Amino acid sequence: MTSANTPRSLLAGLSAEQFLSQHWQKTPLLIRGAFPDFVSPLEPDDLAGLACEEGIESRLVEAQGPDKAWQVSHGPFDEATFARLPQSGWSLLVQAVDHYVPEVAELLESFDFLPRWRLDDIMVSYAPTGGSVGPHVDQYDVFLLQASGRRHWQLGGSPGDSARLIPGIDLRILENFTVEADQDWVLEPGDMLYLPPGVAHHGVSASDDCLTYSIGFRAPSADEIVTAFADYVGEQLGETRRYGDADLTSPTHPGELDDSAVERVRRLLLDAIDRPEQIAQWFGRAMTQPKYLDQLAAAETETTPEAVRTMLEGGGELHRSLGSRFAWRQLDESQVTLFSDGDTLACDPALARALCDEARLDASLLDVPNAASILATLVNRGSLSWDDGDED
Ligand code: SIN
Ligand code: CO
């Protein structure tokens, strides 16, 4: 792993530390040649093929759709859809391509200077010359990697929540978009643009082979955090723990909800949620929930620790299943909680680190206490797969 203060071409010569302190969640960064000599593992036709598959999330954005301006339709599409499209003025977007194309998933290894569990997915878009999804703002951090062809990017500052949107259309497109000085570039293959949340941007295809990969991150909203944690912790609180007022004095006005009542309920609430270890246990589960729950396929035939040991000793290798999410939390010196796809296991720290950091897991891990049994559980849950291509 490259250290935090080594300059990286992926970050325009900045170290991870410099990038994080100067740009992450703060200001955009244009990175020429982030991936030198980059060749897209996908072609526009491959993307169209993915967009025709059942269970793959895809969208078509048409500036002048059959029914209205900026029309969005959702896949799966068929050949007839692509046949009717005009020469220009549309974009095809396919979500989570890293779940289906291992060569696209491999790109994620380059982003090891960020917590893996902050990653959402790699969305890939194709647009013929002139195609775009309109000027807009996203609520998440994104690295926009130009994978083939050229795209003209323009940035329009941070318009804030009150920015006016074009009314009556399917998309949240800004009504007013003014390009800021010097925030206007044409990206070539291998170039990349980092955008923090909230920055207005507009990317227009400048060639008929324009493919852009969006390496997107996710951050739950305060609403999601409060609601989901309350659900999780609530289940553990039990029925007998209740609002109590043993300090009650007789009210002057029986209808009044006085300060003491509010303070009692505030204390109960704060006491119920101020539990760092439960927060960690919930957050690990939440941040490793699969993007698509139905894509986590448990093994059809259960494997055993002995079978896993034999496979690894025979040269077999395991990898995280495409789309699977892993993280860990230290419990004490010899134990961590391993989170995988929203579930947990108690685990040795060395095994958890290998599971999260290594692209391939081999027999060397069998020295770690309990490794074969944990690996077998993860294979059975569908979070780990053998390297022989048993991935669907
Ligand atoms: C695109 O790839 O067309 C749009 C990506 C974005 O603006 O977030
Ligand atoms: Co965007």
pLDDT in 10s for each residue of the chain, 392 residues: 789 999 999 999 999 999 999 999 999 999 999 999 999 999 999 999 999 999 999 999 999 999 999 999 999 999 999 999 999 999 999 999 999 999 999 999 999 999 999 999 999 999 999 999 999 999 999 999 999 999 999 999 999 988 999 999 999 999 999 999 999 999 999 999 999 999 999 999 999 999 999 999 999 999 999 999 999 999 999 899 999 999 999 999 999 999 999 999 999 999 999 999 999 999 999 999 999 999 998 998 999 999 999 999 999 999 999 999 999 999 999 999 999 999 999 999 999 999 999 999 999 999 999 999 999 999 999 999 999 755 44
- Ligand 1 lining (C-beta closer than 6 Å): 91, 125, 133, 138, 142, 201, 203, 212, 214
In this structure, CATH architecture of domain 9-217: Sandwich (2.60)
For a substitution probing ligand 1, which of 58, 133, 185, 199 has the most ligand atoms within 8 Å of its CB?
Answer: 133
Report the separation in Å between the CA atom of 391 and the middle of ligand 1, taken as the mean of its atom positions.
29
The CATH code of the domain at 305-386 is 3.40.366.30
Burial status of residue 388 (CB atoms within 10 A of its CB: 0-12, 13-18, 19 or more):
exposed
Asked if residue 197 lies in contact with residue 124, where contact means CB atoms within 8 angstroms, the answer is no
CB 204 within 8 A of CB 134: no
Residue 156 and residue 29: Cα distance in Å, rounded?
A: 14
pTM: 0.95
Quick one: tokens of 1?
Answer: 């792993």
Query: Which of 123, 148, 191 most suits a substitution to test ligand 1, by most atoms within 8 Å of the C-beta?
Result: 123
User: What is the signed CA dihedral for 108, 111, 116, 122, rounded to 10 degrees?
Assistant: -40
Q: In angstroms, what is the span from residue 309 Cα to ligand 2's centroid?
A: 45
Q: What is the pLDDT of residue 392?
A: 44
* Backbone region of residue 368 per phi and psi (left: phi > 0; alpha: psi in -120 to 50; beta: other values): beta
Residues of the chain with CATH 2.60.120.650: 9-217
Location of each CATH 3.40.366.30 domain in the chain:
305-386
Task: Look at residue 344 in the predicted model and tell me its pLDDT.
Answer: 98
